[in-house]
Structure 1
């Protein structure tokens, strides 16, 4: 019979692989590669996600990687924006082609009736490779060729067909502005991989998130029929307390479930919350809290981990002379945990508002 992994065992295994049991001595580039896709709908969350995971990280470490084209932001898993290394971009984007095609067959696809998809892709490629364009600019130019089609649908046709990366200054810490896009091939000077195999993606996912079910893999990626892939691989099997089948790398370690877990502040959209199906997401977030974190408008709120589990939400407010970290707790915490939350929150404010002469961490009890 496969070994049973309870909620706490799964929690500690995933925290270790997510670099959340102890700050790692990795470089920012190594960490982005290990995490295999950091959710990045907004520019700042990956910076906070790396800060909470790495020893000595400062925002300039990631900004430099973006400027030097060693990491990029583009649409990948689940047809959402992720931050990945340049090498992973070139492999993951063609692997996610079925996800992009499925997304395009929805509302936007109906608006593209009568538009030749190959011509649209070729036209879009020519335009964004001449100079990076915002989606508004791209839509206006495509509309000159296809005036009968909605601009948003034309842009979606290009976005879901080509590997469009967001170019700096978008994604640079402290810099605003709309996202401008060009192709990954033009930006990185290399072609996309041909016919990538999903087995490597399964291994990389398990190294960063495992142990996991097939449904977890499919929730993370947006791909389907991964059960056929998993069952052909040399993986170790476990089961959850509820009987769900888990898979893991044979060589992967799993910490003692009683390993202490430090307080951690996770950013909005952190992939740790988004990369598991609903049943196994309880390894880090109780189902009763899901509705408070996963909002109806698609925003995934920033959270705090206490003893390895989501115990509240946080947000930062910044003025000219004062900054505050507002923490809303979902459940009571001990005096020691409260002190740790305040100390870690103060360190986070040092990053978020280094020039504010007044900084305060405010905990609101459940």
Structure 2
């Protein structure tokens, strides 16, 4: 059986994820494509992940790729998570993961509208009623090109239909279905997320017509072919890995994951005693660094590299408790030689950091330089992650 050491996996990670000196991207779109997708639950992640891998990029370049050039698009996909996806690859991701999520969201909403009290009351065929609301909303988005949810709710008043509370629990409150319908339509490929309502850090966004990307709607890709393409691309970037890693990343069932892998040409590999897989075309051993100088990289919370595997000890080491929140979201991290050695945050507009292990004087100097460079590229913005982790909280609360 093929064997790959932790050191070799780290070299692969650094080179394939744009964390090595000779592996940087020339454009924002190239940076995203090199990682398959970028996490976009936190708007700042997209920008900081791109800057980390594309030395020549500015914040405006990320916005341009998303909203002017349209080489990238935001969409709900794996694990019901928001991602930024290369537009050319979006139909694959949509078919492989998005459509199943849309189906689940629609069934859940129909079930609630059928069984819970609403204002105004939804009567008759609830599924048909919801389909008509979606169609009307899609026409409103197409007519405007881009609009806020509040603007769409004025155009289609049924979006303001509210599900009423049935208990006295604090969390059980009156809720309009506006965001749920639009999220469902996004997962279904009928609308996409557009420009933020404020700055690049804003969590409020507009909804945009898919016609600006695909005049005839998002192209259809057979689900089986899409899943094979997505798994193959993931293995090219994140392999070698375990079956569990791929299952977790895609959100598929174990059976579905194994069925997809059975149709790919893979070989088994020993990953430091754990069984893994790698594409048969990717079994060559990664050459050593050949004297290439190591590089420090500051990655943001929810960056696609640390969030690419479920089994993370080979690059995370003993630092999980400090760098993850209780829900499994990773905070800002400091990388050196293909592994995590610390974390960082922003306090009073300045980047603050801490190494969680002794990486040596060269690493310390490199972190100081990388932090100074990133600070200048943020153009006076101060970034606070949506999900706070123990180390980031400790660093940013220091006086």
TM bin, normalised by shorter chain, reads 0.7 to 0.9
- Other-structure match for 2:245: 216
- Other-structure match for 1:361: none
- Other-structure match for 1:168: 195
Residues 144 and 271 (structure 1), Cα distance of their counterparts in 2 relative to 1, 3 Å cut: closer
Match for residue 316 of structure 1 among 346, 367, 383: 346
- Other-structure match for 1:113: 114
Are the equivalent residues in 2 in contact too, given 1:11–1:308 (CA < 8 A)? yes
- Other-structure match for 2:264: 233
Structure number with bigger Rg: 2
Structure 1: give runs of 5+ residues left out of the alignment.
Answer: 357-363
Quote how far apart the aligned CAs of 1:233 are: 1.5
Are the equivalent residues in 1 in contact too, given 2:266–2:280 (CA < 8 A)? yes
1:206-233: CA deviation from partner (whole Å, max 9, x where unpaired): 2222112222111111122111221222
Are the equivalent residues in 2 in contact too, given 1:79–1:100 (CA < 8 A)? no
Quote how far apart the aligned CAs of 1:126 are: 2.4
Quote how far apart the aligned CAs of 1:203 are: 1.6
SS in 1 for 2:259: helix
- Aligned equivalents of 1:14, 1:238: Cα separation in 2: 16
Quote how far apart the aligned CAs of 1:124 are: 2.5
- Other-structure match for 1:126: 136
- Aligned equivalents of 1:331, 1:109: Cα separation in 2: 51
- Other-structure match for 2:67: 67
Are the equivalent residues in 1 in contact too, given 2:13–2:338 (CA < 8 A)? no
Q: TM-score, normalised by structure 2?
A: 0.76
Are the equivalent residues in 2 in contact too, given 1:86–1:188 (CA < 8 A)? no
Q: TM-score, normalised by structure 1?
A: 0.82
SS in 1 for 2:43: coil
1:280-310: CA deviation from partner (whole Å, max 9, x where unpaired): x223212x32232221266431100122211
Quote how far apart the aligned CAs of 1:57 are: 1.9
Give the stretch that moved more between structures: 143-152 or 220-229: 143-152
- Aligned equivalents of 1:88, 1:301: Cα separation in 2: 27
- Other-structure match for 1:54: 54
Residues 316 and 230 (structure 1), Cα distance of their counterparts in 2 relative to 1, 3 Å cut: same
- Aligned equivalents of 1:309, 1:282: Cα separation in 2: 10
SS in 2 for 1:292: helix
Correspondence 1:347-362 to 2 at 5 A: 347-353=373-379
Cα root mean square deviation, aligned: 3.2
- Aligned equivalents of 1:185, 1:208: Cα separation in 2: 31
- Aligned equivalents of 2:313, 2:104: Cα separation in 1: 28
